[in-house]
Amino acid sequence: MKKFTILFALIVLLIGCNTSTQNSGKDVTSTIDATSQEKINDFAIIIHGGAGTILKKNMSDEKEVEYKAKLEEAIKVGHTILKNGGTSQEAVMKTIQVMEESPLFNAGKGAVFTNFGTNELDASFMDGNTLNAGAVAGVTDVKSPIELAIKVMTDSDHVMLSGNGASIFAKEKGLEIVDPSYFYTERRFKSLERIKEREKTELDHDDKTAAFYDADIKNAKFGTVGCVALDKNGNIAAGTSTGGMTNKRWGRIGDAPIIGSGTYANNATCGVSSTGWGEYFIRSQVAYDISAQMEYQQKTLKQATQDVIQNKLTKLGGTGGVVALDKNGYMSFEFNTAGMYRASMNDKGDLVIKIYKE
């Protein structure tokens, strides 16, 4: 019996040594269990107002102040809701609506124009608790696309509605309908005219042309607003709203209304809202990929966002960024462009507002 006990102990010891040897070659950071991190915020909120060639040298002091003021106004609306015990769903919707109603951002009132001179709006929302979601695409007369996306989630059996059907649904549900002229802004219309003029004279799209120095043309593919929130009940919600790509044709739809590309939320991992060149975000399923890396590879939020944006998306040729927030209140801004309008607030009221890459 004594010999058997000693033999058994030796076997256990050998197995343990072998396992240790196998694990010793692994990157320590890759084995961090994202789900084991301690909670650092009982509630938190993070937003973006689009990414692109946003350079200090091209931004007037007055315009910078204007952008920062609107980002602060928007995020404080959502933060107050969360602080008072409100839901992440309400916080995301109300925060995005502030940006939808501002001509500064490519969403709602400030939406860019299509090739036909119209505004076609997209939005999506996801609830991390139920994994339910709603989205709309190609909307032309609904004042708040993000509100409509949430209504699709809560009041229909569907996930995405588009075009005229989405408008009919909005009217049936009592949402505010506006004349399409509500979305007109001189700045966005002039951008469309300049892009059309460039198409006539520079068919080869050579970046050495004067258009390279025109921020609105350079950012024709960019511009979206988004928000991710974690409430006191531990529920994560994410939402995204956009006017899409300047000069878009044929009913083009980008990543913003596509669950998993522009928006994703899961209480087990994180919430994500994307902004950038939509075609690449769709092909990469950027928002879901971040969550999946946390779930299946046990990466932290920062590790996952860095890998997806700086490695996978960049190698594919895509440009843009994300804001993300995990179940423990960790937040991440990640982008591979010159800048991204962004802000965050935690449960202590610490406010961060940034525009340029630092």
**Which residues are the active-site residues?**
224
Q: CA triplet 91, 174, 74: central angle to 5 degrees?
A: 25
Residue 216 near residue 197 (C-beta atoms within 8 A): no
Could you give the dihedral angle defined by the CA atoms of residues 281, 268, 77 and 139, in that order, rounded to the nearest 10 degrees? 40
Show the tokens assigned to 349. Answer: 């009221």
φ, ψ for residue 298, nearest 5 deg: 55, 35
* Distances, alpha carbon 106 to alpha carbons 196, 202, 311, in Å: 19, 25, 27
Query: What is the DSSP secondary-structure string of 196-253?
Result: HHHHHH-TT--TTSGGGG-HHHHTTT---EEEEEE-TTS-EEEEEEE---TT--TT--
Residue 88 near residue 229 (C-beta atoms within 8 A): yes
Residue 297 near residue 29 (C-beta atoms within 8 A): no
Q: CA triplet 61, 66, 72: central angle to 5 degrees?
A: 125
* Distances, alpha carbon 279 to alpha carbons 78, 262, 318, in Å: 30, 10, 8
For helices 88-100 and 145-155, angle between their N-to-C axes, nearest 10 degrees = 150
φ, ψ for residue 247, nearest 5 deg: 70, 20
Query: What is the DSSP secondary-structure string of 246-308?
Result: TT--TT---STTSBTTTEEE-TTSEEEEEEE-HHHHHHHTHHHHHHHHHHHS---HHHHHHII
Contacts of 154 (CB under 8 A, 6+ apart): 134
Closest CA to 244 of 272, 225, 227, 265: 225
